[in-house]
Homo-oligomer: A and B are copies of this chain.
Amino acid sequence: MVYSQVVDTTKTQKAARGEGPRERLLRAAGTLTYREGTHVGIDAILTSADVARRSLYQHFGGKDGLVAEVLRETSERTEQGYADALASGGDDPRTRLRALFAHLEKLPDAPGYRGCPFVNADLSLADPAHPAHDVIRAHKRRLRALIEAELRAAGHPDPVTAGVQLVLLIDGAAVTAASRPDERPAAAASALAELVISQTAPAS
């Protein structure tokens, strides 16, 4: 079943002391669920976090709770990154959106890039009642709202549809980058996004 051995059981997280078991668990689970998928075994997470089995259940109630919490905290950091990227674009909502896509365009170049952690988890967890789905939906909804607000500020004729389109481009680029990075999908998505953004100023 396993063709390549990528699971590294060594306690890489042990250096990150000073953090409590909860933090170590979240960090290890975040790393492993992203790299190996949400189906990593609990034991691998516990070993990597150097945390007792019982602590997991005391803090998160179980694996599903841990996975959901990992995504929740990841969404906070991610959205902070979005906000920073937008801010770097100044005051003009169009340049702000361009800055956001410039930020997103850099992500696939990161060493261990495997696509969007939210999309990956969403598609990996077949059970529609898994608590992670709500977390993911909420995150994507906030992203869409963020973009929609910029589009509205820019006077886009249909900011709702355009918001859906831009998030769709982001997710599509992430999926493609994870599978076929040679197509450079991030750049292709940014070019398409530019078409949407420029709809706000038909006669530039």
Residues of A at the B interface (CB closer than 8 Å) are 1-4, 6, 35-37, 39, 62-64, 115, 119-120, 122-130, 133, 136-137, 140-141, 144, 161, 164-165, 167-173, 175-176, 178-180, 183-185, 188-189, 191-192, 195-196
- On whether the beta carbons of B165 and A123 are closer than 8 Å, the reply is no
- CB neighbours of A125 from chain B (8 A): 37
- Contacting A2 at CB < 8 Å: which of B1, B2, B127, B144? B127
CB distance from A68 to the nearest CB of B (A): 12
- On whether the beta carbons of A39 and B126 are closer than 8 Å, the reply is yes
- CB neighbours of A3 from chain B (8 A): 127-130
- CB neighbours of A171 from chain B (8 A): 172, 175-176
- CB neighbours of A6 from chain B (8 A): 127-128
CB-defined A-B contacts under 8 Å, sample of 11: A1-B127, A6-B127, A6-B128, A115-B123, A123-B175, A123-B178, A137-B179, A164-B176, A164-B185, A165-B192, A171-B176
